[in-house]
Amino acid sequence: MNSIGIKRCSKAYNSLAVSPVQVLQDTLTAIKDLRHLNAFSYDITSDEEEALELAAQSEKRYKQGNPLSPLDGVPISFKDNFLVKNMPSTAGSKILRDFVPPIDSTMAQRCREAGAIIVGKTNMDEFGMGSFTLYSEKVPVNPINEDLVVGGSSGGAAVATATNQGMAAFGTDTGGSVTFPANCCSVYGFKPSYGRLSRHGVILYSSSNDSPGILAQNIDDISSIFQVVDGEDIKDSNSLSFTEPELRTSLKGVRVGIAEEFNIEELPQERIDEQRKVIDILQDHGAEIVEVSIPLLKQILPIYYTIIPAEAASNLSRYDGLKYGLQHSTVSSKDSKVDYQEYIQRIRTEGFGINVKRRIALGNFVLSTQDVDFNEMYIKAQKVRRLFCEQYNDIFEGIESSKGLQKGVDILLSPNAVGDIPKVSSIRSGEIDAIIGEYSQDYYTVPSNVCGAPALCLPMADVDHLSQSEKKPAAMYKLWGKYGMDRSLLQIGKLIDKIVKNS
Ligand code: GLN
C-alpha cells in the first residue's frame, strides 16, 4: 500500500471518494502484516472497536460536509513517551511498565480534537536516550535494509511512517531523535522551535532540549499536523505562540548559509558530493549561497553531553518505585521490612536499562557540588551554550563586522548525519563503538536543540520503503531555521524539496 498522504487523503475524504473507515482498516491491516518490523510497543489491533467507531463518526462528518480539520479521520501514532489516555505509556522503560495514563498529552489531545485517530505507541530508546533504538525492548527493523539501524530514539515512529502504519507519527527530539531516524528510514522529520509545541504529557528526558516533533512522508503532511498542534498551552509554561512574516513563494533571493564548521574530516566524500548537488540546484534556482561561521559548533557535543545527563538525572530521580507500577512486582509481602534506600536501589537497578543508568551516573557527577571539577564543567557548558546561541542567532539576524553589515541568512544547509547509516551487526559486534558511535552521530542534530531552533530533515529522492531489491536508503540533507520561524522553514523546505526531487 502506498500512502496517499494527509493532504490528498483529506481531499479524497471531502469528495467522499475514500472513507475514513476504509483507510483505518487498511492501516490496521498494515500494522498486523508488518508486526515483524517492531514499530509499535502497543497498537489498537487487539481492540479496534472504539477506533472504528471514531472513523465512522468522522465519515459522517465528511458526508455532512463538516469535517473537524484536515486531520479528521487520519490515522497517526505517538512515540511511547507521550501520554495517550488508556494506552500504555512507558517511554520504553521497564520502570514504567504497565503505566496507563488517565490523561492525554496536549499533542494527543489536540490531534484527537481535530479528528485524528491514534493507532498506537511506537518503540523507542529508553527515555529517549540513544541514536539507534537498540535500547528498546523490541528493536525496530529498518524496512529498506534490515541490516541498517532505524535511527533513534524515535526509531519505531520512523518505521511506522515509512511503512504506512499510520500516515504520520509524533516523535520527540532532544538531540536529533526525530531527524536522525527520519534520515535512516528515508522519511521527512521536523523538529520545531523549543516551546512551539507543548511538552505537557511528554515524559521528560532533558527539559531544556526536549521537543515534540513530527515524522511524515512529505512536508505538506508535516505542515497539516503542525498547524493543528502549534501554539501556546497553559499546561506548559515554556510554550509560546509565534507570528511569522509572510511566507516565500520562490527561492529567488533566499539566503542559504553554509557554515565552515559543517565541513568536518569525518564526513565521507559521498556526503560532500550530495551537499554540492543540493547547493548547485539551489543556485540554479536563484538562491544565494552565503559562507558563514559558527565557531562554537565545534564544541557542541561536549555542551550537549554535559547538560543533558544533568537534566536527565534530576528528571529521572522521580522514579523511586513509590508512585509507579514496578513496585508491585518487586516487593512481596515478605519484603515488607525493606529499608527505603535499599528499596529504591532495587527498583532503579531493575527498572532502568544500561544507557539510562550511564546517563544518570554521568548527570549526578556533573551536578555534584562535592566535585568541583565536574560542577564547573556544568556551569561552563551552560555559559558556552549561551554563547553558541548568540553565534547562531547572529547568523540569522545579520551582524556588523569590519567588512560592514553582513545580512542574515534565511536557512542553513548541511548533511543530517555524519557518516553512513551504521549497520546493526557492526554495533552488536563492537566494530562500531556503541557509545562513541552514538554520540558522534549527533554532531549535525544536537545544535538545533541546544539553541532551540527548528530543523527539517529531507530525502533527496523517493525510495520504495518495502522493496527489498535495492535496499538503499535515500541521500538526506538538513535545513536549519531561525528560532520561531517554523512555518517559514517548512515553506522554504517545500520549495527546495520540489526542485531537488525533480532534478
Ligand atoms: N542521541 C541523542 C541522545 O541520546 C538523541 C536524544 C533525543 O533526541 N531523544 O541524547
Q: Residue 75 sits in a domain of what CATH number?
A: 3.90.1300.10
- For residue 286, is it within any domain? no
Q: How many Cα atoms occupy the beta-carbon half-sphere of 214 within 13 Å?
A: 29
If you count DSSP H runs as helices and E runs as strands, how many of each does the chain have, helices first? 17, 13
Reported confidence tier of residue 376, pLDDT bands at 50, 70, 90:
confident
- For residue 492, is it within any domain? yes
What average pLDDT score do residues 365-392 get?
86
CA 344 → CA 323, 329, 350, 362, distances in Å?
12, 14, 10, 19
Distance of CA 240 to the CA centre of its chain: 19
**Residue 41 designated active-site:** no
Q: From the CB of 306, is ligand 1 less than 6 Å away? A: no
Residue spans of alpha helices (H) in 71-146: 106-113
Cα angle 362, 343, 86 (rounded to 5 degrees) comes to 85
Task: Quote the cell numbers at residue 503.
Answer: 532534478
pLDDT(15) > 90: yes
Q: From the CB of 211, is ligand 1 less than 6 Å away? A: no
**Residue 239 designated active-site:** no
Cβ atoms within 10 Å of 140's Cβ, excluding its own: 30
**Residue 94 designated active-site:** no
- For residue 304, is it within any domain? no
Percent of the chain residues topping a pLDDT of 70:
95
Higher pLDDT pick, 4 / 253: 253
- For residue 393, is it within any domain? no
- For residue 236, is it within any domain? yes
* Domain span holding position 465: 2-248+417-501
The alpha carbon of 107 and the centre of ligand 1 are apart by a number of angstroms equal to 20
The alpha carbon of 476 and the centre of ligand 1 are apart by a number of angstroms equal to 19
Task: Quote the cell numbers at residue 302.
Answer: 561536549
Amino acid at 463: V
Residue 313 CA to residue 204 CA, distance in Å, equals 11
pLDDT(1) > 50: no
Q: From the CB of 445, is ligand 1 less than 6 Å away? A: no
Query: Does the predicted TM-score (pTM) go above 0.85?
Result: yes
pLDDT at 468: 64
Reported confidence tier of residue 466, pLDDT bands at 50, 70, 90:
confident
**Are the beta carbons of 411 and 492 closer than 8 angstroms?**
yes
Task: Give the chain's domain count.
Answer: 1
Average pLDDT score, the chain:
93
The alpha carbon of 233 and the centre of ligand 1 are apart by a number of angstroms equal to 25
Helix/strand/coil for 40: strand
- For residue 22, is it within any domain? yes
Cα angle 161, 442, 95 (rounded to 5 degrees) comes to 70
Which one from 77, 79, 131, 223 is the annotated catalytic residue?
79
